[in-house]
Amino acid sequence: MTRRRRALITVAALVTCAGAQPAAAPAAPPRLSVPSAILVQPQTGDVVYARGADRRRPIASTTKLMTALLALERRKLSDRMTAVGYSGAPAESVVGLSAGERMTTADLLRALLLASANDAAATIAVNIGGTTRNFVREMNRRARRAGLTRTHYANPIGLDDPRNESTARDLAKLALLVRRSAFASAVMNRPSAVLHSGSHVRFIANRNTLIGAVGWMNGVKTGHTSSAGYCLVGAGRRNGVELVSVVLGTPSEAARNADTLALLRWGFKRYSRVTAATPRSAVAHVPVRDQGRHVAVVPARTVRVVVRRGERPTLRPTGLPKQLEGPVARGTRVGSLLVTRRGRVVDRVPLVTGAAVARASLWQRTSNLRPPLAALLVLGLVVGGAASLSAGRRRSRRRGRQTRSETA
């Protein structure tokens, strides 16, 4: 599995694991100041922690995750969009787009995800939807298709509106969808960026102050309004283990960061990425025909799996032949290795021969025959050899008589 493959599980898995209870942990869950929070482990689909995770709340600029998702799905990164005239309140976050200015989708997404720019969100909405109202309809349609059953959007920005709401669980699912994009994942892991398109070069900073300050943090999106409080959809990766967190409604930015870090650090203690098998270790042995030995069967690549602490994945070879007959080159595929976690297949790896198998010699082929057959074969060889020797002697005697007659 890649960072995206090798790393992430489908969003649907979160639905099936919605009632999952945390496994035994080395410590009790952290005390949080937040009314709504969730922590998920994408590779297993586990909901590791939940508090008020299905409670509808205002979500501020975490709304922009859906705006970003539609931009990623509907436009190429190189496409240029025409900025709309956006007039926001003095406290709103903007990058100062002028009406008619043209900026690439890539730079608009950088402005949206890092600086949380409201003018970038408004520009994306009008360019994709034709009008903001139409775009909001598309946001809600996409939310339904994604299974975000307790989410409703009223604007593409996240401004306070009683109809603009979601839940911690739905935001975690949405974050996983957005993070399928390698571009978006890379952007959200940057403390700053430079926007080169548009009327002039712009320098922007990530409003998620944990990025850059905490080495293993790599996302996702902040939000804040007077109604929503301080919100953060967070993400981190340590030792091959990924976690996604959501905290909604904290009283301050400091509390938002503290609750996020407490959740993630606690979660990392509960999971590990284990090496289940390597090409150096045999997972099965297959008999070699006529040679009285077995050849080792090994995985074609190293298999690593994320599990809860104390868990082990299960390995099951499948499709192996009853026996092999040489010659067979080393590395020849002979089956598959099914890797399961809690009864579910999480990886399928080719199985190959760990050594070459030579062709069996005549003696090896005959020595494994049944005794009567072997005796007959040996007798045939002896008789054939004797007959051949006798014929040779007769030819020799004839040549001798012919030579004597010529000399006489």
Q: Which of 30-44, 159-173, 289-303, 367-381 has the lowest mean pLDDT?
A: 367-381
- Clarify whether residues 286 and 307 are in a common domain: yes
pLDDT class of 95 with cuts at 50, 70, 90 = very high
Please give the distance of CA 211 from its chain centroid, rounded to a whole number: 22
Task: Tell me the CATH number at 283.
Answer: 2.60.410.10
pLDDT class of 1 with cuts at 50, 70, 90 = very low
Pair of tokens at residue 88: 């926001």
Are 256 and 250 within 8 A, CB to CB?
Answer: yes
Pair of tokens at residue 327: 């010659």
Eight-class DSSP state of 361: P
C-alpha–C-alpha distance, residues 293 and 320, integer Å:
16
Is residue 358 in some structural domain?
no
Domain interval for residue 57: 2-269
Containing H/E element for 265?
Answer: helix 253-268
Q: Is the pLDDT confidence value at 262 over 90?
A: yes
- Tokens 């579910």, residue? 344
- Tokens 């989410």, residue? 151
Is residue 363 in some structural domain?
no
- Clarify whether residues 297 and 384 are in a common domain: no
- Clarify whether residues 284 and 259 are in a common domain: no
- How far is the CA of 45 from the CAs of 69, 226, 275, 293, 355, in angstroms? 21, 33, 19, 43, 38
Is residue 54 in some structural domain?
yes
Task: Tell me the CATH number at 219.
Answer: 3.40.710.10
Question: Domain end: 239, 269, 299, which one?
Answer: 269
C-alpha–C-alpha distance, residues 324 and 326, integer Å:
7
Q: Is the pLDDT confidence value at 276 over 60?
A: yes
C-alpha–C-alpha distance, residues 331 and 352, integer Å:
5
C-alpha–C-alpha distance, residues 160 and 133, integer Å:
16
Predicted local confidence at residue 13, as pLDDT: 41
Tell me the pLDDT tens digit for each residue of 284-306.
999 998 778 899 999 999 999 99
- Clarify whether residues 279 and 169 are in a common domain: no
User: Which residues lie closer than 8 Å to 196 by C-beta, 6 or more apart?
Assistant: 107
- Clarify whether residues 285 and 265 are in a common domain: no
- Clarify whether residues 230 and 336 are in a common domain: no
Predicted local confidence at residue 11, as pLDDT: 39
Peptide bond preceding 313: is omega within 30 degrees of 0, i.e. cis?
Answer: no
Tell me the pLDDT tens digit for each residue of 9-36.
333 444 334 334 444 445 788 999 899 9
- Clarify whether residues 81 and 169 are in a common domain: yes
C-alpha–C-alpha distance, residues 230 and 256, integer Å:
6
Question: Domain end: 325, 353, 381, which one?
Answer: 353
- Clarify whether residues 201 and 305 are in a common domain: no
Domain count, the chain: 3
Is residue 360 in some structural domain?
no
C-alpha–C-alpha distance, residues 28 and 99, integer Å:
53
Q: What share of the chain is helix, strand, coil (3-state, %, to 5)?
A: 35, 30, 40
Termini Cα distance of the chain: 92
C-alpha–C-alpha distance, residues 294 and 143, integer Å:
55
Are 82 and 100 within 8 A, CB to CB?
Answer: yes
Eight-class DSSP state of 1: -
Pair of tokens at residue 225: 């309004």
- Tokens 């919605």, residue? 18
Q: Give one DSSP letter per residue of 79-135, joined into a string.
A: -EEEPP-----TTS----PPTT-EEEHHHHHHHHHTS--HHHHHHHHHHHHSSHHHH
3-state class of 374 per DSSP?
helix
Is residue 97 in some structural domain?
yes
Are 14 and 169 within 8 A, CB to CB?
Answer: yes
- Clarify whether residues 243 and 323 are in a common domain: no
Are 123 and 111 within 8 A, CB to CB?
Answer: no
C-alpha–C-alpha distance, residues 349 and 24, integer Å:
30
Containing H/E element for 232?
Answer: strand 229-238
- Clarify whether residues 88 and 177 are in a common domain: yes
Predicted local confidence at residue 91, as pLDDT: 85
Predicted local confidence at residue 238, as pLDDT: 97
Is residue 361 in some structural domain?
no
Is residue 79 in some structural domain?
yes
pLDDT class of 407 with cuts at 50, 70, 90 = low
Cross-strand pairs, 239: none
Q: Report the alpha-carbon angle 186-187-191, nearest 5.
A: 110
Question: Domain end: 247, 269, 291, which one?
Answer: 269
3-state class of 267 per DSSP?
helix
Is residue 232 in some structural domain?
yes
- Clarify whether residues 203 and 305 are in a common domain: no
Q: How many helices (H) and strands (E) does the chain have?
A: 10, 18
Cross-strand pairs, 242: 237
Determine how β-strand 344-353 pairs with β-strand 333-341: antiparallel
Helix axes of 64-74 and 105-113: crossing angle, nearest 10 degrees: 160
Helices assigned H by DSSP within 130-252: 132-145, 168-178, 182-188
Mean pLDDT of the 234-260 span: 97
- Clarify whether residues 205 and 332 are in a common domain: no
